[in-house]
């Protein structure tokens, strides 16, 4: 997301710069060619925005699940709790690492990307234990019912 | 005011009114979407504000300097609109793996297919061409400045040059 922000700032600055350069005070209608100025966020940059992305395959989740259960209380308390005695990670206050670990432990594919979305739409109403706001936001990504239910099952406001 | 000249004035004002209406409409739409999650989502608000300033510069006491500034701003906003479209496509592409239908086989799709799905909103949450509404607004602004009388030009040439040629 930081890369995105930097790209956005760069694109905005470049766009304004092109505008300044292109406007020479002539009366003729300007020929807007701003596209090159904003073409810098190349497709190859987008994936780089998630260097920490880990996308466990569902097959991994079973093993991770066992490990999380075995290592309860170790380095990832969020994950342990989420798969333990029903304790959940706070979608409002949990760190990205905690949320991602909980999602990974629950076998959610693309846990890193989902974590980013959970973080992006904070904060969630404390009086909504069903996380309706989060559900609404995540539905925009057209996830499977199973993935959505799993994500919501390991989180709480 | 003679007939044809009056029509030109009417059309110029109409174009500016449509631009102003566009500013209001996009503002409402962005507000309804709560389009303010993070810095990137604030950019269209800045673009919209700039577009509103450009409209005002052309509509209220236009001078050559104000019209040139409006054009400058309009070109900048065009860049913002282009960036917005690009950002939406990138966001959709990035969200491809999350899609229930296409996510599982996302990596096996060709690059062209992935980008096509992103552009056509088959995957991802972002309306690809919605930011182009900003472009439409400032194109109207640019149109309203063409051969504007405040620029002191006749037929695209400086009025002084035209009058000198007439003797």
Over residues B105-120, the mean pLDDT reads 96
Look at residue A8 and tell me whether its pLDDT is greater than 60: no
* Residue, of A142 and A18, whose pLDDT is higher: A142
Q: What is the pLDDT of residues B121-155, one digit of tens each?
A: 999 999 999 999 999 999 999 999 999 999 886 55
- Chain A residues near residue B115 by CB distance under 8 angstroms: 43
Chain A environment of B33 (Cβ under 8 Å) = none
Q: What DSSP string runs through B3-26?
A: HHHHHHHHHHHHHHHHHHHHHHHH
Residue A68: band (very low, low, confident or very high) from pLDDT cuts 50, 70, 90 = very low
pLDDT of residue A87: 76
> What pLDDT, on a 0 to 100 scale, did the predictor assign at position A54?
44
Contacts of B63 in chain A (CB under 8 A): none
The fraction of chain B above a pLDDT of 90, given in percent, is 84
Tell whether A115 is within 8 A of chain B (Cβ): no
CA atoms within 13 A of residue B36's CA, in its CB half-sphere: 10
Instruction: Tell me the percentage of chain A whose pLDDT exceeds 70.
Output: 45
Q: Is the predicted pLDDT of residue A47 greater than 70, yes or no?
A: no
Contact B94 A39 (CB under 8 A): no
Residue of A115, A120, A121, A142 to mutate, testing the B interface (most B Cβ within 10 Å of its Cβ): A142
Asked if the Cβ–Cβ distance from B79 to A39 is below 8 Å, we say no
Of B38, B79, B93, the CB nearest to A38: B79
pLDDT at A50: 41
Q: Would you call B102 helix, strand, or coil by DSSP? A: coil
Residue A115 predicted with pLDDT over 70: yes
Query: Among candidates A76, A121, A122, A74, which has minimal Cα distance to A99?
Result: A76
Predicted ipTM > 0.95: no
Residue of B nearest to A21 (CA): B72
Are residues B156 and A19, on separate chains, in Cβ contact within 8 Å?
no
A25 touches chain B (CB under 8 A): yes
**pLDDT at residue B4 in the model:** 83
The contacts of residue B163 (CB under 8 Å, 6+ apart) are: none
Question: Mean pLDDT over all residues of chain B?
Answer: 92
Q: What is the pLDDT of residues B3-46, one digit of tens each?
A: 888 899 999 999 999 999 999 999 999 999 999 988 999 999 99
How far does chain B reach from its first CA to its final CA, in angstroms?
26
**Lowest-confidence pick of A30-44, A133-147, B67-81, B87-101:** A30-44
**What DSSP assignment string belongs to chain A?**
-HHHHHHHHHHHHHHHHHHHHH--S-SSPP----GGGG--S-TTHHHHT-TT-----HHHHHHHHHHHHHTTTSS-HHHHHHHSSS--EETTTS-HHHHHHHHHHTT-TTHHHHHHHHHHT----TT-TT-HHHHHHHHTT---HHHHHHHHHTEE-
Predicted confidence at residue A45, as pLDDT, reads 38
Q: Is A87 on the interface with B (CB under 8 A)?
A: no
User: Considering only CB atoms, which chain B residues are within 8 Å of A30?
Assistant: 71, 75, 142
pLDDT at A4: 54
Mean pLDDT of A135-149: 94
A3 touches chain B (CB under 8 A): no
Nearest-neighbour CA in chain B from A103: distance (Å) = 14
In the predicted structure, residue A38 carries a pLDDT above the cut 90 = no
- What is the pLDDT at residue A21? 40
- pLDDT tens digits, B76-100: 999 999 999 999 999 999 999 999 9
């Amino acid at each position: 997301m930081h890369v995105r922000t930097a790209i956005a700032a760069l694109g905005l600055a470049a766009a304004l710069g092109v505008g300044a350069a292109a406007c020479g005070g002539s009366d003729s209608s300007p020929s807007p060619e701003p596209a090159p100025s904003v073409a810098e966020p190349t497709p190859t940059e987008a994936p780089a925005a998630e260097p920490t992305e880990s996308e466990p395959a569902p097959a991994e989740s079973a093993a991770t699940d066992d490990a999380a259960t075995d290592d309860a209380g170790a380095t990832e308390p969020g994950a342990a709790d989420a798969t333990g005695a029903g304790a959940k990670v706070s979608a409002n206050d949990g760190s990205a690492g905690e949320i991602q670990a909980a999602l990974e432990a629950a076998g959610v594919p693309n846990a890193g990307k989902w974590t980013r979305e959970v973080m992006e739409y904070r904060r969630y109403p404390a009086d909504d234990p069903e996380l309706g706001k989060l559900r609404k936001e995540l539905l925009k990504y057209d996830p499977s019912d199973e993935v959505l239910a799993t994500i919501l099952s390991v989180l709480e406001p | 005011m003679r007939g044809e000249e009056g029509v030109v004035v009417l059309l110029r004002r109409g174009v500016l009114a449509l631009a102003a209406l566009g500013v209001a409409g996009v503002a409402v739409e962005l507000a309804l979407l709560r389009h303010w999650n993070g810095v990137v989502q604030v950019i269209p608000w800045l673009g919209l504000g700039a577009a509103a300033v450009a409209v005002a510069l052309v509509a209220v006491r236009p001078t050559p300097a104000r019209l040139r500034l409006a054009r400058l701003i309009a070109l900048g906003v065009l860049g913002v609109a282009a960036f917005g479209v690009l950002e939406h496509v990138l966001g959709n592409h990035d969200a491809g793996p999350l899609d229930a239908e296409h996510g599982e086989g996302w990596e096996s799709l060709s690059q062209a297919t992935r980008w096509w799905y992103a552009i056509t909103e088959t995957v991802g949450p972002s309306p690809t061409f919605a930011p182009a509404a900003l472009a439409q607004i400032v194109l109207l602004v640019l149109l309203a400045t063409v051969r504007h009388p405040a620029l002191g030009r006749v037929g695209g040439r400086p009025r002084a040059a035209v009058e000198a040629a007439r003797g």
